[in-house]
Amino acid sequence: MSNTNRNSELQYQGYINTPLLWQDHPLLGLEQLEFTQLQKNHFNIPITNHMPLGKLVERFVMQELRQQSNISILSENIQIQNQKITIGEIDCLLRQNDISIHLEIIYKFYLYDPNSGPTEIDRWIGPNRNDNLLKKLHKLKDKQLPLLHKAHTKPLLDQLTLNLDDIVQKVLFKAQLFTPYNHDIRFDLLNKDCLTGFYIHLADIAQFSTCRFYIPNKLDWLIEVQANVEWMIFDQFSHKIKEFTEEKRAPLCWIKFPDTSIQKFFIVWWPKQ
């Protein structure tokens, strides 16, 4: 197996093993698409290293759904246009057990900031603080899902012989969650199994001077930690990480502790509050 194919398989398995961000109940009225995970599930479609992570995840979702005996994909990645202007995109229309479903796909990395708001949902933010969970949920409810009901979407539904009133709207929302180092939090609405690692501010990394480090590329953020990579010593890592933080980018990294345990973590550039 080539290195590219091996990474694709590891990325796919990382996606597969990422839990849904919430389960068993709607969140702000949004219901997750749930189905049985197959025991043997492999990805064997070529991809490029320049594909955006969100598009790669959509590929993975389609691969997984096509292996479900009770799901059929009707259409995917559909651009909805007003004349020649794209007004939005519908991720997927499918049928599950004879139920027609409009599905929107989301895969996120969120960090818990206890100072970002009064509720659990307010406090999950993007690594660079330019998005948050609450904003994404409202975008789904107010912009992405209502696209199905726009007049410009009707020709697509007619082509697929779908009745708008019969379509159920769901999401497939997965996430990796990170909390401040050595900081426990309570999960009331979200799935605690999404907890993947921790984050730390650049000024505090000296406490890890005896550890080893690895910085995966963006697509490999999906991958579960691996022992067989080219680990960096602290001095090499701290120099390299400043290139990210000076550009106000918070990278996802892997850390190998002296006891050989490995974990994912983010180093954030923004100041402590």
Terminal Cα distance for the chain, rounded: 47
Q: What is the pLDDT of residue 235?
A: 96
pLDDT at residue number 272: 82
Give alpha helix (H) positions in the chain.
3-16, 53-66, 133-139, 154-159, 234-245
Q: What is the pLDDT of residue 47?
A: 72
pLDDT of residue 273: 73
Q: What is the pLDDT of residues 66-94, one digit of tens each?
A: 989 999 999 999 999 888 888 999 999 99
Distances (CA, A) of 173 to 11, 142, 154, 251: 17, 16, 26, 22
pTM above threshold 0.85: yes
Per DSSP, the three-state class of 189 is: coil
Query: pLDDT digit string (tens) for 113-132?
Result: 999 889 999 999 999 999 99
Query: What is the per-residue DSSP string for 208-234?
Result: GTTSEEE---GGGGGSPP-SSS-PBPH
Instruction: Spell out the long-range contacts of 59-64 with Cβ–Cβ below 8 A and sequence spacing 24 or more.
Output: 60/11, 60/12, 60/15, 60/16, 61/15, 61/92, 61/105, 61/172, 62/92, 63/12, 64/16, 64/38
User: Given the DSSP bridges, would you call strands 71-82 and 85-96 parallel, antiparallel or unpaired?
Assistant: antiparallel
Distance CA(155)–CA(245), nearest Å, equals 47
Q: What integer pLDDT is reported at residue 46 of this predicted model? A: 66
| Whole-number pLDDT of residue 44 | 66
Give me the average pLDDT of each 10-residue run along the chain (273 residues): 69 94 94 82 70 92 92 95 89 96 98 93 95 96 96 95 97 98 93 97 95 96 96 96 93 97 97 81
pLDDT of residue 2: 45
